[in-house]
């Protein structure tokens, strides 16, 4: 495993902290203290030909590199399948989970994977994307981007013949889309409905009246929150929820502080037991909301959120009487599936243009004291189970089997990311 040089267009970027220059190690990347690419590829030594391999090697069969030349000859023209993963988010649990899924799955097939985190900075993301477009990547996975912005940065890559899969980003501008691109999403409508079903069930018991809910949201324009708010409105129209109040937040630079301040300000308007629950459709706000309810002693109001992180799990334990559940998508699995899709495109498989990931409910009462994102599958059935999701290709099985025989470094584990 080696740290590669930066692709074209990124070679002027360095890491400087407290006036000192640091070299990157793999563990440092996996903790996301870097915006630079780290390459994970096959450590198998290329074989010159079948007549030059040892008897032991011949019994193993051809390494993944040889199989890749058969399955993906165009991508292997330069003797390596190279994938870039660009996550337009701040370094944290969500970005870490997604990249871990991409890296581990790509490495299992003998790919080299370079990962970039732009910190949610659009200018920085454009700079990194330009470097990727000018480099020799065969595929790109791009996560989290607005519609027009995503189109702008991905169009040059597509024009160069780079295969693209996106997660939570739909490239579209002025009636134009990008042909051959696959978009993947969390099912925001499903996330919202499942979280609201959990809220109603926990708040009302056998009571048939509508649940009285304070909704947390943002001004229109954030696509995934708009979809979740639409589902909330549908359940209000169905008579299952009464919107007792709404808190509109705009402090996205410090969402927890913004949420705390807003909830603390609105609570005096609601006497005890006049409201059943607080619905938080984005977990970036949920921690601040839970802390505000706890500080005010408002254990009469239950909180249900969408999304989860290690910090969320810690606060769910701390405020378990308030924060009763969260609904989420396994982002590590999303990264795994996105990498499988890139592999399928490079192998000439035909895929649907879109794919959405089903949500899962995580109840606080089911979380043990030692649970975190890495071992959540112990408590949540089927968490992280990607069986049947774009893994049915015979060539993929052969690649993984071959890479497993020659690869000396085990796939990245969650423990490496702590």
Give the CATH class of 188-328. alpha beta
pLDDT by residue (tens digit) across 109-166?
A: 999 999 999 998 999 999 999 999 999 999 999 999 888 899 999 999 999 999 999 9
- Judge whether 36 and 12 are in contact, CB under 8 Å: no
Domain topology for 16-187+331-351+390-417:
Rossmann fold (3.40.50)
| pLDDT, position 16 | 35
In the chain, CATH 3.40.50.2300 sits at 16-187+331-351+390-417, 188-328
Give residue 74's pLDDT band: very low, low, confident or very high (50, 70, 90). very high
**Banded model confidence at residue 297, pLDDT cuts 50, 70, 90:** very high
Give the integer Cα–Cα distance in Å for 150 and 160.
16
Q: Is the pTM of this model over 0.85?
A: no
pLDDT at position 300 over 60: yes
Cα Rg of the chain, angstroms: 23
Which residue, among 12, 35, 163, 13, has the nearest Cα to 90 in the 3D structure? 35
Q: What is the pLDDT of residues 80-96, one digit of tens each?
A: 999 999 999 988 888 99
């Amino acid at each position: 495993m080696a740290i590669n040089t930066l692709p074209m267009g990124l070679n002027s970027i360095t890491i400087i902290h407290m006036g000192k220059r640091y070299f990157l190690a793999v563990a440092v990347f996996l903790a996301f203290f870097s915006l630079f690419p780290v390459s994970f590829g096959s450590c198998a030594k290329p074989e010159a030909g079948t007549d030059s391999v040892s008897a032991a090697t011949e019994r193993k069969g051809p390494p993944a590199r040889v199989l890749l030349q058969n399955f993906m000859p165009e991508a292997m023209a330069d003797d390596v399948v190279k994938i870039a993963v660009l996550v337009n988010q701040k370094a944290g649990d969500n970005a870490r989970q997604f990249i871990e899924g991409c890296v581990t799955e790509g490495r299992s097939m003998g790919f080299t994977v370079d990962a970039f985190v732009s910190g949610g900075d659009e200018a920085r993301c454009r700079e990194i994307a330009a470097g990727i477009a000018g480099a020799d990547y065969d595929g790109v996975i791009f996560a989290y981007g607005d519609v027009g912005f995503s189109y702008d940065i991905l169009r040059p890559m597509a024009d160069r013949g780079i295969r693209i899969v996106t997660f939570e980003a739909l490239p579209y501008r002025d009636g134009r889309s990008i042909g051959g691109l696959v978009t993947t999403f969390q099912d925001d409508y499903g996330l919202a409905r499942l979280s609201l079903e959990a809220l109603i069930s926990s708040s009302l018991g056998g009571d048939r009246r509508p649940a009285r809910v304070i909704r947390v949201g943002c001004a229109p324009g954030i696509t995934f929150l708009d979809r979740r708010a639409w589902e909330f409105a549908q359940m209000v129209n169905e008579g299952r929820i009464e919107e007792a109040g709404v808190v509109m937040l705009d402090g996205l630079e410090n969402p927890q502080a913004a949420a705390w301040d807003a909830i603390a300000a609105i609570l005096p308007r609601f006497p005890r037991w006049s409201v059943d629950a607080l619905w938080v459709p984005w977990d970036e706000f949920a921690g601040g909301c839970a802390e505000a309810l706890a500080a005010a002693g408002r254990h009469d109001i239950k909180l249900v959120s969408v999304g989860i992180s290690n910090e969320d799990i810690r606060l769910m334990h701390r405020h378990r009487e308030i924060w009763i559940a969260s609904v989420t998508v396994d982002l590590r699995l999303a990264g795994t599936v996105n990498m499988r899709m890139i592999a399928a495109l490079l192998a000439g498989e035909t895929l649907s243009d879109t794919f959405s990931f089903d949500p899962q409910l995580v109840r606080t009462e089911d979380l043990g004291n030692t649970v975190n994102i890495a071992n959540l599958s112990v408590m949540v059935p089927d968490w992280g189970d990607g069986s049947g999701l774009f893994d049915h290709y015979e060539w993929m099985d052969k690649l993984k089997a071959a890479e497993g025989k020659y690869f000396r470094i085990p796939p990245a584990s969650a423990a490496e990311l702590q």
